[in-house]
Structure 1
Amino acid sequence: MKMVFRWFGNENDTVSLKDIKQIPGVEGIVWALHDIPVGEVWPMDKINGIKKLATQYNLHLDVVESVNVHEDIKLGLPTREKYINNYKKTIENLSKVGVKVICYNFMPVFDWIRTDLNKELEDGSTALFYEKSMLENRDPNDLVKKIADNPNFTMPGWEPDRLNSITELFQAYNQVSVADLWGNLKYFLQEIIPCAEEHNIKMAIHPDDPPWSVFGLPRIITSQENIRRLLHLVDNPYNCVTLCSGALGVDPNNNIPSMINEFSDRIAFAHIRNIKMYENGDFIETSHRSHDGSLNINAIVKAYHDNNFVGYTRPDHGRHIWDETCRPGYGLYDRALGIMYLWGIWDTLKLLKE
């Protein structure tokens, strides 16, 4: 298990590289060029700029999250050829600084979805929260405004310039079925995976978050069966998964340890976090501790350990604790606590095995 930590850059993150370096066992940062519009080629000068900063703290750049997929590709429009070619050029450029994994997703219009970025928990901390009833029979523009207009940070996947044409995008997706989206993903993978293999970079798709249709939009990376289907679309070891326990785990039908056991050789990147589910369909993110949420994090880490997992892992989201002012879900303190919890389980399993 190679521990990494998501970082949004000096201008966009309250967490510094100096902070990250001091978390035990962290080897590298999970990064992206957030100022490059979706669909454009990532330029080498900006890529090298991130490498220079990370090298000062002996942190690697092996994992990128995310190189976003342009909506024209997801929609299957003729213009997708331009954006696929740009994606290939970005893969080539990233390989020059040693990138090994690109995390991406294929969610239409929205990225992850929450209804409250700072919902208070019983202990006084706050966390990302999903209220099911809030999304029923509501105008999606309300949610866009609530998240995209966050007063402190631009939220990845919810950038205002990306969502300026939301009405038009919804109209376009009215013509896209679940079968169409699968077909458009297959086309993308058939084009991209040979390029990724040539440059020794694994493409690791992130599950839909949450793993069900929202506002009537099709979503397809939602279950063990669908991940199996994804991996067979292009049966190549460079066609991989970012297995996110929190994204998939909010559906009680999803068995995360079972997924790890089946797909361990195709999991290039592991997101490990806990969530607490409620009977009405709501859920909130909690500490990583198994006791605090609905997922058995001990069993999840054990599944990775039993399968000799050597991929990249990050603690994913955290609560906002100790009066920390931070990007929602991405503070320093709770994610660092999460890392130590994960290492505690991992090291104990290692000792028992010895």
Structure 2
Amino acid sequence: MKMTMRWFGEENDQIPLEHIKQVPGVEGVVWALHDIPAGEEWPMHRISEVKEQAENQGLHIDVVESVNVHEDIKLGLPTRDQYINNYIKTIEKLAKAGVKVICYNFMPVFDWTRTNLYKELNDGSTALFFEKEKISDIDPNELVRTIALDSNFTMPGWEPERLEQLSELFEKYQHVTEEDLWSNLQYFLERVIPAAKENDIKMAIHPDDPPWSVFGLPRIITNKENLQRFLKLVDDSYNGLTLCSGSLGANPQNNIPEMINEFSDRIHFAHIRNVQTFENGDFVETSHRTNDGSVDIYKVVEAYHQNGFNGYVRPDHGRHIWGEECRPGYGLYDRGLGIMYLWGIWDSLKRNKKSR
């Protein structure tokens, strides 16, 4: 596996590249131009700037997360073609910079949802938390205000320009069904995948987080059956997955190792993290260690190893530990610990295989 770490840029991330490169086995950064609004074409000079910054530290920029999909595409509005054209132009520019994988999602309005960014755990660390009952009762606008007050950092997927239009977006989605969303996703893929293939960039959709409807909005990338359906929309190796063990693992019915075994040849990017799930539907993010959560991270890594996975991996979210002031879920310390846990499993599996 090719280990990477997400980085939000020199102006938006408190963690410098000099520190990321010191984490053993990390080869590259997963990045994006987070200030470019969804639907706009990315400028080549900005892409080149990030490439130079990373390469100066011996790191690659092979994986982008995310080139966000404009809401008009998800809604299937007549204006979607202009935004898809911009998306394709961005793909072409990223290919010139050497990018190999684009992670994206097709979640309406919210890229991810939590009710508490700093839930205190028993050991005194804090982590991202989802309280199902609160979601059922709270007004989305109130949640946005709560999250905004709870964090000093800008939050990818919660961009201010999108949230300013929250009421309008909910109105537009009022009559959009899951089947409508499937149809609009297929339209997008039929335009974008040929361009990605021509430019040798793998498209890797991220599962919905959490993998069920939130605020009545349709969500479709949620389980094994829907992943099967997704891959058949455009049955091409360039149309693939970002398999996130944490997002899918929030639903205890999702068997992550089984998914890896079935879809290994279409997984272009792996997010590996753990969550503790509760019977009432709540979940909280934990350390990567198997014993600390509900996802068997050992079996997840074992499934990748057994299938000869040589794609890109990142440790995904971590707790906030040792007093680190950081972007929610994206501190250096716990993600660094997570990387070493993943390498420990991987190296052991590799050695055991050789000794047989």
Q: Distance in 2 between matches of 1:192 and 1:232?
A: 15
Q: Distance in 1 between matches of 2:226 and 2:95?
A: 29
Amino acid at match of 1:276: Q
Partner of 1:219: 219
Report matched runs for 1:237-252 at 5 Å.
237-252=237-252
Q: Is the 8 A contact 1:117 1:127 kept in 2?
A: yes
Q: Deviations over 1:78-123 (max 9, x none)?
A: 0000000000000000001100000000000111100000000000
Moved over 6 A (4+): none
Q: Distance in 2 between matches of 1:266 and 1:216?
A: 30
Q: Distance in 1 between matches of 2:134 and 2:91?
A: 39
Q: Structure 2: 5+ residue runs without aligned partners? A: none
Partner of 1:177: 177
Report matched runs for 1:28-39 at 5 Å.
28-39=28-39
Aligned Cα root-mean-square deviation (Å):
0.7
Partner of 2:274: 274
Partner of 1:51: 51
Q: Structure 1: 5+ residue runs without aligned partners? A: none
Q: Distance in 2 between matches of 1:168 and 1:318?
A: 33
TM-score (norm: length of structure 1): 0.99
CA drift at 1:146:
1.9
Pair 1:332-2:320 in alignment: no
Report matched runs for 1:27-176 at 5 Å.
27-176=27-176
Secondary structure of the residue aligned to 1:58 is: coil
CA drift at 1:152:
1.3
Partner of 1:322: 322
Q: Is the 8 A contact 1:148 1:160 kept in 2?
A: no
Report matched runs for 1:250-269 at 5 Å.
250-269=250-269
CA drift at 1:160:
1.2
Q: Distance in 2 between matches of 1:206 and 1:291?
A: 25
Secondary structure of the residue aligned to 1:284 is: strand
Distance verdict in 2 for CA 1:325–1:31, change over 3 Å: same
Q: Is the 8 A contact 2:117 2:150 kept in 1?
A: no
TM-score (norm: length of structure 2): 0.99
CA drift at 1:330:
0.1
Across the two proteins, how many residue pairs are aligned to each other? 354
Secondary structure of the residue aligned to 2:61 is: strand
Amino acid at match of 1:152: N
Partner of 1:195: 195
Amino acid at match of 1:269: F
Q: Distance in 2 between matches of 1:151 and 1:327?
A: 8
Q: Distance in 1 between matches of 2:159 and 2:174?
A: 22
Q: Is the 8 A contact 1:242 1:270 kept in 2?
A: yes
Secondary structure of the residue aligned to 1:136 is: helix
Q: Distance in 1 between matches of 2:169 and 2:161?
A: 13
Q: Distance in 2 between matches of 1:278 and 1:19?
A: 35
Q: Distance in 1 between matches of 2:253 and 2:151?
A: 36
Q: Distance in 2 between matches of 1:243 and 1:281?
A: 21
Secondary structure of the residue aligned to 1:353 is: helix
Partner of 1:287: 287
Distance verdict in 2 for CA 1:201–1:148, change over 3 Å: farther
Q: Distance in 2 between matches of 1:169 and 1:291?
A: 40
Q: Is the 8 A contact 2:275 2:294 kept in 1?
A: yes
Which is further off, 275-284 or 301-310?
A: 275-284
Matched residues, percent identical? 69
Q: Is the 8 A contact 1:287 1:293 kept in 2?
A: yes
Q: Is the 8 A contact 1:271 1:313 kept in 2?
A: yes
Which is further off, 145-154 or 274-283?
A: 145-154
Q: Is the 8 A contact 1:148 1:159 kept in 2?
A: no
